């Protein structure tokens, strides 16, 4: 049965007191974390200054695992909405706040639960595997949730005779199909950031930086994946570059990741892969809605909060828990 998604009213969304320009935001965030027994979880795509105040930085899987094990009373989730929803699903009794409630995701918004439910209904007996970049309502419809770190491992455990539907990222689904020799049916969604990288400009960069390896996230188009030296999750990309003997890398994912890569390997060169257009569209506009000031305000006011109905929380938790169990 389909669970209806309805966000409850957002507490405290009224006008906030302005923040004094002289305020030391880093020091205030540290103070508030202690005062409120709060943790800040940040995705690798967040601005450097947000990553620097975070208690934990990671990819979607690591952040879900951190959210599942925290003992803090308050989780401030510096990422996008579906990630904070996942933290709330795993911590229904804790307060989960987000710096900006409008930080969405093109993959999540391109896969409305009503349409996914109608798609699933066309394939009786099929298993629905959903990438974690989807709404809680889509998670509630899913048999398994996966991340780019564990998708292949989890799909490989589903019998080959089973029809598998994969949503919402067709590039990640296609990558897993190729890797495992499977024929999952793919929802036609893409990430606005990863779909933007330019083959032509990357070839130009490779000419100017001979020896530089191309590292790509599996949300990228197949053209980029085929020319890559390594394809993996954000954590996989960081680990690969850290261990590699090469000294230069072209990185085809959101450039927020470069902060962690440069910290791990300050002697190496990291070049962000460019978009086709002359724009900054390789930066995720949703992730970039979060600012240090908004992190501070969310901890100070404990708003905006993620709230969900119990039935939705329970239904969405099952496939996430299955993923966490299978990822151990």
Provide the binding-site residues for ligand SF4, judged by CB under 6 A. Answer: 45, 80, 105-107, 133, 191-193, 254, 284, 286-287
Q: What is the DSSP letter of 71?
A: -
Nearer to ligand SF4 by C-beta: 196 or 302?
196
Nearer to ligand SF4 by C-beta: 151 or 287?
287
Contact (Cβ atoms closer than 8 angstroms) between residue 44 and residue 260: yes
Q: Cβ of residue 194: shortest distance to ligand SF4, in angstroms? A: 6
Nearer to ligand SF4 by C-beta: 175 or 302?
175
Secondary structure of 269-319 in HEC code, one letter for each residue? EEEECCECCCCCCCCCCCHHHCCHHHHHHHHHHCCCECCCCHHHHHHHHHH
Joined together, the tokens standing for residue 10 give 């957002």
3-state SS class at 321: helix
Residue 45 dihedral angles phi and psi, to the nearest 5°: -90, 0
Among 151, 261, 148, 152, residue whose Cα is nearest residue 213: 261
Alpha carbons 100 and 116: distance in angstroms, whole number: 26
Element (H, E) at 4: none
Nearer to ligand SF4 by C-beta: 28 or 274?
274
Q: Cβ of residue 29: shortest distance to ligand SF4, in angstroms? A: 23
Q: Cβ of residue 258: shortest distance to ligand SF4, in angstroms? A: 14
Among 126, 73, 111, 96, residue whose Cα is nearest residue 10: 96
Instruction: Give the residue carrying structure tokens 């995701």.
Output: 105
Q: Cβ of residue 69: shortest distance to ligand SF4, in angstroms? A: 23
Q: Cβ of residue 64: shortest distance to ligand SF4, in angstroms? A: 14
Q: What crossing angle do the helices spanning 234-243 and 257-264 adopt, rounded to 10°? A: 30
Cα diameter, the chain? 63
Q: Cβ of residue 121: shortest distance to ligand SF4, in angstroms? A: 26
Contact (Cβ atoms closer than 8 angstroms) between residue 315 and residue 15: no
Q: Cβ of residue 209: shortest distance to ligand SF4, in angstroms? A: 24
């Amino acid at each position: 049965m389909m669970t209806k998604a309805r966000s409850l009213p957002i507490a405290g969304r009224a006008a906030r007191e302005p923040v004094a320009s002289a305020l030391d935001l880093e020091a205030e965030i540290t103070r508030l974390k202690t005062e409120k027994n709060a943790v800040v979880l940040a995705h690798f795509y967040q601005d450097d200054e947000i990553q620097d105040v975070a208690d934990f930085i990671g990819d979607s899987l690591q952040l879900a695992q951190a959210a599942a094990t925290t003992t803090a009373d308050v989780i401030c989730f510096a990422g996008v909405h579906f990630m904070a929803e996942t933290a709330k699903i795993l911590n229904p009794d804790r307060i989960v706040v987000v710096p900006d409630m409008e930080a969405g995701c093109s993959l999540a918004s391109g896969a409305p639960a009503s349409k996914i439910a109608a798609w699933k209904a066309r394939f009786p007996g099929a298993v629905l595997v959903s990438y974690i970049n989807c709404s809680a309502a889509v998670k509630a419809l899913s048999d398994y949730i996966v991340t780019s770190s564990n998708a292949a491992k989890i799909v490989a455990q589903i019998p080959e005779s089973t029809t598998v539907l994969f949503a919402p990222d067709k590039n990640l689904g296609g990558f897993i199909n190729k890797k495992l020799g499977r024929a999952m049916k793919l929802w036609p969604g893409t990430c606005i950031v990863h779909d933007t990288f330019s083959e032509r400009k990357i070839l130009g960069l490779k000419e100017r930086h001979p020896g530089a390896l191309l590292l790509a996230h599996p949300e990228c188009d197949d053209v980029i994946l085929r020319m890559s030296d390594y394809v993996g999750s954000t954590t996989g990309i960081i680990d690969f570059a850290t261990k590699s003997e090469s000294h230069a890398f072209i990185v085809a994912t959101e450039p927020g990741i470069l902060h962690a890569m440069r910290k791990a390997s300050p002697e190496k060169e990291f070049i962000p892969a460019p978009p086709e257009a002359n724009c900054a569209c390789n930066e995720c506009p949703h992730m970039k809605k979060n600012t240090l000031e908004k992190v501070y305000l969310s901890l100070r006011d404990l708003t905006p909060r993620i709230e969900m109905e119990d039935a939705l929380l329970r239904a969405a938790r099952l496939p996430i828990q299955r993923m966490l169990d299978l990822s151990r």
